[in-house]
Structure 1
Amino acid sequence: MIKLGLIVNPIAGMGGSVGLKGTDGDIIYKALKMGATSIASQKLNQFLSNIKNEDNLFITSAPGKMGANYLKNFTIKYEILGEIGDFTSAKDTKRIATQMIENGIELLIFSGGDGTARDIYDAIGLRKPVVAIPSGVKMLSPVFALNPRAAAQIINRFLENFTETVEREVLDIDEDLVRKDILKSKLYGYLKVPKILNLFQSGKSGSRIGGLEEENKREIAQFMVKSMEDDTLYLLGPGTTIKAITDYLKLPKTLLGVDAIYNKQIIGIDLNEQGILNLLSKYENKKIIITPIGGQGFIFGRGNKQITPKILKLVGHKNILIIASKGKISELECLRVDTGDIETDELLKGLNRVIIGYKEEQIVQIKA
């Protein structure tokens, strides 16, 4: 029987739908005041429902909402390690992760975002491999599985004695560069993961810069602006490729947020889910303009969680416009979605056109 550890960050991802860029530190209190709710149960249920080899598995779990609460509805054998209070923090994650290593686990499963990955690195370094269930807001680090179901597939392989590992980066946003309108990840450290890399996401590449790249973005922006329909609401996702559109219109843009324009004028800045829903109720015609995350290929489910499955269903997949520079799209095998809702992911899957220049497009596969 193989002993694995389980630690859940119960507040990870809560800032997404309310338009915050994470829940680190005191930001969680702001998220709660704005109506944020936990997504941990949804992610863990998807993960645990896809574990196949339960007879060969024993889990050492963090207590309560940091792990054990989600195991109660399953038949997986487990024990509880450590203690937590009503409010949890990074200190709990680090302490319990250390205790699990001392308790002899062979691999640590954790659920959270890049902040949680940093905490796990601080606690265990390269002593044991990990599998990260994506449930944060950003999730730039390539230690995260593509989605909870992929995380379960990795564990199933590990339980079949697949033990080869590889080191992968723990990344986070470089906030100094964000203030200069450059999206780039910063290396924090390394964690070991099972070497089943087709089930892990890639790390985010930085904003591509250079004369040809910037000219390509301007061409895309020019085409998008000239193609804009009157009396239509356009929701603009995060990223420098999208920002080129507002730069062309001489309008402001939140680099990491979702903004809205109507008849080529800004009508919403850094919107959360409720703000977007309010606008959708006012305007009959609506579209979303989105760009994939460089290196990863995600168009939904990473960094833009305020665009929820509810919003995507209201807008409709035919009204989603994807843009990407030629350099960015050339590095991607496919585009990906991980909205947290399997039905929505299925609706978005398939071949889709990506605008890559002025009157230029490329057909790309979207996978869930």
Structure 2
Amino acid sequence: MTEFRLGLVVNPAAGLGGSVALKGSDGAETAARARELGAEPKASKRAAQALKELVNGKVDCRIFTGANGLGEDSCALAGVPCEVIFHGHEPSTADDTKALTQALVESGVDLLLFAGGDGTARDVYAVVPSEQPVLGIPAGVKIHSGVYAVSPRAAGKVVVQILQGHLTTVTHADVMDIDETAFRSGTVRAKRYGEMLVPEELRYVQAVKMGGKESDELVLTDIAADVIERMEDDVLYIMGSGSTVAAVMDELGLANTLLGVDVIKNGELVASDVTARQLEQWVVTEQQPARLVVTVIGGQGHIFGRGNQQLSSALLAQLLQAEGKEAIWVVATKAKLQQLNGKPLLVDTGDAEVDEQLGGLIRVTTGYHDEVFMQIDAP
């Protein structure tokens, strides 16, 4: 039997801009700025989480990848052997992603795994032939494309299923990306660039993100009224991104960062467009009492790990330790929840232990004194 050949591409700069509120990491200048602000690279670790599933599943394959942060480091972290077939630049560039992808395709890999965000997906798409199966490991800030698994571990599980001989349908999924400059000013300007062939495992591969604001203003007003009524004095309220949370800020008469994270206390704005480090200083280090208000990404179901990396696993762990899930207020219209067609809410914090703690039922505020129970999954 011919041995399965797995290609691995890691974009070491993916996700750098998330924790420091840069809304993305596209371009050398943005990545450099993120490093200056203290951002720590996580793409290699997230790729390693996927590879560890191969170890857990006790499956064998030959892994081909690039040197150092392009994939070799991830294999070392996961404890799996690999064959380096490409050496890039330090720091790596988009051209390195494309060149490594091209080399892997030419080497005849059966499946190409790549870790990054929508910018990385575009780079891979630019060089892969239409018949090459690929699968993305989510590691970026912007992940609107349908070519990504819902979490790093989920990506690994898909590979394990293939290696174990399970019937795996493949389908063409959209490669999407947004204008980062417009994104930083609060505008989502998404564009479809094409499609790539991915394994269709509905439990583990995410849907394309559905854009647009909620249209039912009355429902949003009711949700906002419920949240505001529950707010207590001398508590930090961390307001996540999205139009549903923005409705709460509008009702309070406060400026809002639509695609960022703001903090309020006693009805006043404390800080706008905050970073993970700022939040951890207040909540983890100073242990100020806090609540978190977040919404659901339409069409996907994610509440953590997609565009809100400022909400770090360390922050979430502290909130859960202090108050359990009661510290996390999920808000969404019933229309948005119905778009999930019975699928659970998803979390992808980068920390398996925190993901597990978040799992299970959670209350979702869907109107004034109106709640539903939803299941949280961390596949």
TM range (shorter): over 0.9
In the superposition, relative to structure 1, how do residues 163 and 295 fare at CA in structure 2: closer, same or farther (>3 Å)? closer
1:136 and 1:181, CA in 2 relative to 1: closer, same or farther beyond 3 A?
Answer: closer
Matches within 5 A, 1:289-368: 289-316=293-320, 317-332=325-340, 333-368=343-378
Q: Aligned residues, how many? A: 366
Partner of 2:232: 229
Structure 1 residues 254 and 294: CA distance shift in structure 2, 3 A:
same
Structure 1 residues not aligned, in runs of 5+: none
- Indicate the larger mover: 188-197 or 44-53: 44-53
Distance 1:232 1:355, change over 3 A: same
Match of 1:78 in 2: 82
1:138 Cα shift? 2.2
Alpha-carbon separation, structure 2, partners of 1:74 and 1:294: 33
Q: Is the 8 A contact 2:10 2:44 kept in 1?
A: no
Give the secondary-structure state (helix, strand or coil) at the position aligned to 1:198: coil
Counterpart of 2:245? 242
Preserved CA contact (<8 Å) 2:15 2:117:
yes
Structure 2 contact 221–247 (Cα < 8 Å) conserved? yes
Identity %: 38
Superposition CA RMSD, Å: 2.1
Aligned to 1:170: 175
TM-score by length of 1: 0.93
Cα deviation for residue 42 of structure 1 reads 2.1
SS in structure 2 at match of 1:111 = strand
Does the 8 Å contact 1:203/1:296 carry over to 2?
yes
Alpha-carbon contact 1:184-1:206 (below 8 Å) kept: no
**Structure 1 pair 329/163, CA: closer, same or farther in 2 (3 Å)?**
closer
Partner residue of 1:37?
A: 40
Aligned 8 A contact 1:129 1:193 in 2: yes
> 1:207 offset after TM fit, Å?
2.4
- Inter-partner Cα distance in structure 1 for 2:214 and 2:310: 27
What do the CA deviations read for 1:161-204 (whole angstroms, capped 9, x no partner)? Answer: 54631000111235687589564643221111012222101111
| Aligned CA distance change for structure 1 residues 104 and 160 (closer, same or farther; 3 Å) | same
Task: Call closer, same or farther: CA 1:185–1:334 in 2, change over 3 Å.
Answer: farther
Q: What are the superposed Cα offsets for residues 6-54 of structure 1, whole Å, 9 maximum, x if unpaired?
A: 1101111122222221111111111111111111232122112110577
Asked if residue 110 in structure 1 is aligned to residue 118 in structure 2, the reply is: no
The residue aligned with 1:153 is 157
Aligned mates of 1:59, 1:113 — CA distance in 2 = 21
Relative to structure 2, which stretch is displaced further, 258-267 or 269-278?
Answer: 269-278
Return the alpha-carbon distance in structure 1 between the equivalents of residues 181 and 367 of structure 2: 30
- Aligned partner of 1:2 among 1, 4, 22: 4
Q: Distance in 2 between matches of 1:78 and 1:48?
A: 11
Contact 1:41 1:70 in 2 (8 A): yes
Letter in 2 for 1:228: M
In the alignment, the residues of structure 2 paired with residue 176 and residue 286 of structure 1 have an alpha-carbon distance, to the nearest angstrom, of 31
Give the Cα–Cα distance (whole angstroms) in 1 for the partners of residues 80 and 185 of structure 2.
48
Hey, what's the Cα distance between the residues in 1 that align with 2:179 and 2:367? 28
Structure 1 residues 72 and 287: alpha-carbon distance in aligned structure 2, compared to 1, 3 A threshold? closer
**For residues 59 and 299 of structure 2, what CA distance do their matches in structure 1 show?**
37
Where does residue 279 of structure 1 map in the other structure?
Answer: 282
SS of structure 2 residue aligned to 1:94: helix
> Is the 2:331–2:366 contact (alpha carbons within 8 Å) kept by the matching residues of 1?
yes
Mapping of 1:179-190 within 5 angstroms? 183=188, 185-190=190-195
Distance (whole Å) between structure 1 residues aligned to residue 48 and residue 258 of structure 2: 33
The answer on whether the counterparts of 2:19 and 2:276 sit within 8 Å (CA) in structure 1 is yes
> 1:55, CA displacement in angstroms?
6.2
- Whether the aligned pair in 2 keeps the contact of 1:57 and 1:76 (CA below 8 Å) is no
Alpha-carbon distance in 2 for matches of 1:260, 1:182:
20
- Is the 2:44–2:71 Cα contact (8 Å) retained in structure 1? no
Amino acid in structure 2 at the alignment position of 1:195: E
The corresponding residue for 2:271 is: 268
The one-letter code matched in structure 1 to 2:134 is V
Is the CA contact 1:184–1:205 (under 8 Å) kept in the aligned structure 2? no
Q: Give the counterpart of 2:258 among 245, 248, 255.
A: 255
Cα distance in 2 for residues equivalent to 1:55 and 1:117: 26
Choose 156-165 or 83-92, whichever is displaced more.
156-165
1:87 to 73, 87, 91: 91
